[in-house]
Amino acid sequence: MRILAAMSGGVDSAVAAARAVDAGHEVVGVHLALSRAGGTLRAGSRGCCTIEDAMDARRAADKLGMPFYVWDFSERFRDDVIDDFVAEYRAGRTPNPCMRCNEKIKFAALLERAVELGFDAVCTGHYATLVDGPDGLELHRASDSAKDQSYVLGVLTAEQLAHTYFPLGDTPSKALVRAEAAERGLTVAQKPDSHDICFIPDGDTRGWLAERVGAEQGEILDRSGAVIGRHDGAHAFTVGQRKGLQLGVPAADGKPRFVLEVRPVSNTVVVGPKEALATAEIAGERHSWAGRAPAQTAFACDVQIRAHSDPVPARATVADGWVTVVPDEPFDGVAPGQTAVLYDGTRVLGQFTIARTVSAVPAIV
């Protein structure tokens, strides 16, 4: 095949490209410039897509003897990822920018250009597995459960999966990938993994959002509606948050309180006990299927609501454009804007963006 290898400058994408070359494919490397003002140096494991990362990707491509290009996707990234991130927080939701980047950039904009240029597939260093199933190609979890990235790939459609290549999916551990990189003489063998949000490399999400959303003081309420504190902007809070609440009134039971709800219209934040985070139902209408849609409108599945959370057995129902999920045991701290990915065993069925939640604990009236 003719393969376009997306090279971030990290060890995973470099080894993935190397394996594609070893498999006999015609491979071309590409690094995506996602910022017009990318920093020249990383801050340890924070951030990605810097000039340093582009140089690391080029050195890896040179070592592997493949052509290499840098493509400017900064405008598309700003519109589809950064602006979306700000808009979601402004609306009181908690978005996943990595999910949106996979959906809109790596497996939409990049894949579309790759196909236009005659490539058969885009290769990435994601830890996930593709399996030929009875109804077509299926997306499954990686062999290494600790590195499994099938959750953030849950937005991919059947058409996109047909043009993807994940060489690392059956690798037992990340340590083996680093060892392989060292054996190949790749200088990124011990490079730290990227963490945090790539376009907020200093990790100060609250400060970054305050500059773009604006800081406006508002009230912090308990579940009865009583004012127990003030804040400098509802955008700085997310469901399940415990730290940084600065409450002026202690809880009657002396236990810590958590953010239960963010109300952007009134610029208020509702807090309460940890048990009130229990969620009995979630639903969303922006959904997609990673292959053929389920044959039944109601079916059993496992649901994962965060990249590194455990899957929860549940029952899903599809009706009137919405997907509704009722877990066997309540979810813990679900925020609108998060992505719910549905699994059948190790197979990804599809995903939806959570728009509505139902608490398992009755409200105080």
For the annotated catalytic residues, the residue numbers are 101, 198
Q: Which DSSP symbol is given to 311?
A: P
Cα torsion 62, 66, 67, 70: sign:
negative
Question: Contact, 259 vs 245, CB < 8 A?
Answer: yes
- Cα(112)–Cα(98) distance, rounded to whole angstroms? 19
Handedness of CA 327, 331, 337, 343 (dihedral sign): negative
Decide the pairing of beta strands 218-221 and 121-123: unpaired
Nearest to 143 by CA among 129, 125, 122: 129
Q: How far is Cα 188 from Cα 63, in angstroms, rounded to an integer?
A: 11
Q: Max alpha carbon distance in the chain (Å)?
A: 68
Burial (CB count <10 Å: 0-12, 13-18, 19+), residue 365: exposed
Pairing of strands 164-165, 121-123: parallel
Closest alpha carbon to 125 in 271, 281, 19, 275: 19
Closest listed residue to residue 331, CA positions, set 281, 284, 365? 281
